[in-house]
Structure 1
Amino acid sequence: MKKVTRRILFWMPRVLTILFAIFLSLFALDVFEEGVGLREALAGFFIHLIPTYIVILFLVLAWRWEWIGALAYLALGVFYIMMTKAKFPLVTYLLISGPLFLICLLFLLDWLYRKKIRVH
């Protein structure tokens, strides 16, 4: 595999995870529109950021151990679908679980490639 491809395979899941965390964080901003006090709004904001914290925590672990990222993002995607019980339109699942499954696949490919290098 070419050096450029290796770098892309390394960076792509990490960059996509950061972008996905930013995307998820945007949903936390809705607490500031509710007309509540600043203290309550900030508390709600940090609570709404819990999914982002989880995504970032798994990124920290996956940065070193790609297989953890593959399993974790697969689990998060499945967990979201199960928790919402398919009560939203398909586009909702494509926007939330879709990127998680893509990130899972990219971490898996990166892990398999690195494992292959270690064997040879």
Structure 2
Amino acid sequence: MNAAAKRWLFWTPRIICMLFAAFISLFAFDVFDGSHGFWEMILGFLIHLLPTTFLVVLILIVSWRREWIGGLLFNFLAVFFIVMSWGKLPWYGFAAMSGPLFIVGILFLLNWRYRAELRAR
């Protein structure tokens, strides 16, 4: 594997995961509608962020060195989202939410598979 492919395989799942966490975070901004007090909106914002963004970031932190854990957990999250949302979203909703999680999970598993080559200097 050449150096560019190694860098791509190492950084791509991490960057996609960060972008996905930022994308999910956008949905938490709906609490700032002005109908509640400042501290209630801050609390609502944090409550909206907890289950998704913080979970994704926590899994990313663990996956940074333990790629197989990230591969399994991101694929589990993708399947979990599909199961919990079945019948509530059109196909492109599943693609937008579970697609990146599947891709990140597969890339982390590939990263784990080729770990010796990626870490070699």
For the aligned pair, the TM-score class normalised by the smaller chain equals over 0.9
Q: Give the ranges of 4+ consecutive aligned residues of structure 1 lying more than 4 Å apart after TM superposition.
A: 115-118
Matches within 5 A, 1:1-120: 1-33=1-33, 35-50=35-50, 51-114=52-115
Bigger share in helix: 1
**Rounded Cα–Cα distance in structure 1 between residues aligned with 2:11 and 2:117:** 18
Q: Which of 1 and 2 has higher RCO (CA within 8 Å, sep 6+)? A: 2
Amino acid at match of 1:64: R
Unaligned runs of at least 5 residues, structure 1: none
Change (3 A) 1:117 1:25: closer
**Rounded Cα–Cα distance in structure 2 between residues aligned with 1:65 and 1:86:** 34
The answer as to whether partners of 2:18 and 2:57 remain within 8 angstroms in 1 is yes
1:72-118 CA-to-partner distances (Å, cap 9, x unmatched) read 10011111111123311111111111100000011011111115779
Identity %: 47
Amino acid at match of 2:77: L
1:3-44 CA-to-partner distances (Å, cap 9, x unmatched) read 111011000000110000000000000010252111111111
